[in-house]
């Protein structure tokens, strides 16, 4: 069995409150979706605005392999707008529940059926493939639903879709519901919303019941609680049902990150498949098991979806992980000193802290009596920011025996300071900002600010933290802490290589 993937990130996904994509952003996401291997890209709703039509046209002009589709209502003006954009198909949607007919459209069942027939015929006559979709179908009368679908098929619709518009299905009901529509002799799509957190489960049940195509969005974005998540659905099909799709699974994490960055809708860490904690381990028992054989505590490998495994140091951390990290830092410790290091990490974990690489290095150096050398030290920091003033920062750093002064501008004072520091160290090392996280850990305007940064260098990720009342100073200190960790590790590696 093979399932088709109809991606509606650019239409249903964009209806997420707070998301509004530019034409170029739509084109960029569409390219990624096409590279990922989706069968259909619903690029938007052409009737929405001139900007929306421009965005859809940019997608259709790319020459992508995927079928490009526009959402339309059952009215000629919508179909004409879609034709203007040169799409391959339309997702023609008509409400079918009595609730929608009475209170939204104020039309009879017969009138709506006639609209569906005329619109389908008009679209087909103008060369469009029509996927006829029933809105709020799961609260519709089944007899009427089958009647309107059959009328649409007779008028030329090549696919049908039944939408669980407000997420009312359960997996059991989903199977029964889609089973009653799978004998209409055209491909059937399942379209589920996540109001009860069941969109993926209901989509899987619909596919088992005879549907051949699933409507999804990257990261499950969409109105209210969102839509069925593309990455969760396709990996479940692959790993749990042995059902194939055209999706390149190894690209899922990359595409997820791209969509999150462009839309500004960042994921909760524990999001299945693509969340930052999806393959993160802290528990000593779990981490030890994964190190010995990944399958002990991972149902799939992170490499399958282009993700990476990581181990987190906190109160649940086991000794194996700490020993490995200490060895990576170039320290040789005996059992007595290791016990001290391990005890201090556990104590920090009991205080609610997650131990960063810089914390671990500082603890190890302290226990071993090593003076902590800082390759880069902050001498001066000046920030200028305010209303109608471009945030500007100047920093003076001491790098070894050399003092360097640089300035930078940014979207805010923190960004300006980081830009200035990056310019100062660009001749020393190449570092990428991987992640920046801020928490206020006390109340009031003088709250303590906890800043955690993750920096990437030569494929390795280093974390560092600073806790201060001032967010700028905390950010700068954390960033410099990470830089010093990278430079210290680099120095250790070079000394080990030298004869």
Mind listing the pLDDT tens digit for each residue in 7-19? 999 999 999 998 9
| Cα(373)–Cα(376) distance, integer angstroms | 9
Q: What φ, ψ does residue 100 adopt, rounded to 5°?
A: -70, -40
| Cα(268)–Cα(357) distance, integer angstroms | 23
Is pLDDT at 113 greater than 50 in this prediction?
yes
The proportion of the chain whose per-residue pLDDT surpasses 70, expressed as a percent, equals 86
Q: Which helix (H) or strand (E) holds 422?
A: helix 413-425
Residue ranges, CATH 3.30.160.270, the chain: 376-497
Q: CA dist 357 to 303, 315, 364, 371, 481, Å? A: 24, 15, 10, 17, 10
In angstroms and rounded to an integer, the radius of gyration of the C-alpha atoms of the chain is 28
Is pLDDT at 284 greater than 50 in this prediction?
no
| Cα(317)–Cα(487) distance, integer angstroms | 26
pLDDT of residue 491: 72
Q: Where does the pLDDT of residue 497 fall: very low under 50, low under 70, confident under 90, or very high at 90 and above?
A: low
Lowest mean pLDDT among 29-43, 68-82, 326-340, 433-447: 433-447
Stronger pLDDT, 24 or 292, i.e. the higher one: 24
**pTM of the full structure:** 0.72
Q: Which helix (H) or strand (E) holds 435?
A: strand 432-440
Residue where the block lists tokens 């049940």: 205
What number of helices (H) and strands (E) belong to the chain? 16, 16
| Cα(230)–Cα(249) distance, integer angstroms | 11
- Angle at CA of residue 277, ends 273 and 278, nearest 5°: 25
**Which burial class, exposed, middle or buried, applies to 272 when counting CB atoms under 10 A from its CB (0-12, 13-18, 19+)?**
middle
- How confident is the prediction for the chain on average, in pLDDT? 88
Q: 3-class SS at 403?
A: strand
For the record, the structure tokens of 101 come out as: 């007919």
pLDDT of residue 287: 45
pLDDT of residue 129: 98
Q: Where does the pLDDT of residue 357 fall: very low under 50, low under 70, confident under 90, or very high at 90 and above?
A: low
Stronger pLDDT, 316 or 244, i.e. the higher one: 244
For the record, the structure tokens of 93 come out as: 């949607």
Report pLDDT digits (tens) over 120-147: 999 999 999 999 999 999 999 999 999 9
Is pLDDT at 316 greater than 80 in this prediction?
no
The contacts of residue 352 (CB under 8 Å, 6+ apart) are: none
* CATH class in words for 4-263: alpha beta
Report pLDDT digits (tens) over 434-449: 888 887 655 666 666 7
Structurally, at CATH architecture level, domain 376-497 sits in: 2-Layer Sandwich (3.30)
Q: Where does the pLDDT of residue 30 fall: very low under 50, low under 70, confident under 90, or very high at 90 and above?
A: very high
pLDDT of residue 285: 46
pLDDT of residue 465: 78
Stronger pLDDT, 296 or 142, i.e. the higher one: 142
Task: Tell me the residue ranges of DSSP E strands in 37-124.
Answer: 40-44, 67-73, 89-95
Report pLDDT digits (tens) over 331-343: 778 888 888 877 8
Average pLDDT over residues 220-238: 97
Residue where the block lists tokens 């393959």: 279
pLDDT of residue 282: 52
Q: Where does the pLDDT of residue 486 fall: very low under 50, low under 70, confident under 90, or very high at 90 and above?
A: confident
Residue ranges, CATH 3.20.20.70, the chain: 4-263
């Amino acid at each position: 069995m093979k399932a088709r993937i109809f991606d509606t990130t650019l239409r249903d996904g964009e209806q997420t409150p707070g998301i509004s994509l530019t034409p170029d952003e739509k084109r960029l996401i569409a390219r990624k979706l096409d590279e990922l291997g989706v069968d259909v890209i619903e690029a938007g709703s052409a009737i929405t605005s001139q900007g929306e039509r421009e965005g859809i046209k940019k997608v259709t002009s790319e020459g992508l392999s995927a079928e490009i589709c526009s959402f339309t209502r059952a009215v000629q003006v919508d179909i004409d707008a879609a034709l203007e954009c040169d799409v391959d198909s339309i997702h023609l949607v008509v409400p079918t529940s009595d609730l929608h007919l009475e209170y939204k459209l104020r039309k009879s069942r017969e009138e709506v059926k006639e609209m569906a027939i005329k619109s389908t015929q008009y679209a087909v006559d103008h060369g469009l493939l029509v996927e006829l979709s029933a809105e709020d179908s799961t609260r519709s009368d089944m007899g009427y639903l089958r009647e309107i679908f059959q009328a649409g098929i007779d008028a030329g619709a090549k696919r049908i879709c039944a939408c669980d518009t407000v997420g009312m299905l359960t997996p059991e009901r989903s199977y029964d519901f889609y089973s009653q529509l799978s004998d209409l002799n055209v491909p059937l799509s399942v379209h589920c919303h996540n109001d009860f957190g069941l969109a993926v489960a209901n989509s899987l049940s619909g596919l088992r019941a005879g549907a051949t195509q699933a409507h999804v969005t990257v990261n499950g974005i969409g109105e209210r609680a969102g839509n069925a998540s593309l990455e969760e659905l396709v990996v479940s099909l692959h790993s749990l049902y042995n059902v194939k799709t055209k999706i390149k699974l190894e690209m899922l994490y990359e595409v997820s990150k791209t969509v999150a960055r462009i839309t500004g809708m960042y994921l909760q860490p524990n999001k299945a498949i693509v969340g930052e904690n999806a393959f993160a381990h802290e528990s000593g028992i779990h981490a030890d098991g994964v190190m010995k054989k990944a399958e002990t505590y991972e149902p799939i490998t992170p490499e399958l979806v282009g993700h990476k495994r990581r181990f987190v140091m906190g109160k649940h951390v086991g000794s194996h992980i700490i020993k490995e990290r200490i060895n990576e830092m170039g320290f040789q410790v005996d059992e007595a000193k290791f016990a001290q290091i391990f005890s201090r990490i556990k104590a920090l974990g009991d205080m609610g802290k997650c131990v960063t690489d810089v914390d671990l290095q500082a603890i190890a150096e302290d226990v071993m009596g090593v003076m902590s050398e800082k390759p880069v030290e902050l001498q001066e920091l000046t920030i200028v920011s305010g209303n109608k003033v471009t945030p500007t920062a100047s920093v003076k750093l001491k790098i070894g025996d050399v003092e360097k002064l640089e300035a930078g501008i940014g979207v805010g004072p923190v960004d300006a300071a980081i830009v200035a520091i990056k310019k100062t160290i660009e001749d020393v090392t190449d570092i990428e900002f991987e992640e920046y996280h801020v928490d206020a850990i006390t109340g009031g305007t003088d709250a303590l600010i906890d800043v955690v940064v993750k920096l990437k260098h030569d494929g390795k990720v280093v974390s560092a933290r600073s806790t201060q009342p001032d967010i700028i100073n905390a950010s700068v200190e954390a960033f410099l802490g990470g830089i010093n960790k990278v430079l210290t590790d680099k120095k250790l590696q070079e000394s080990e290589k030298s004869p």
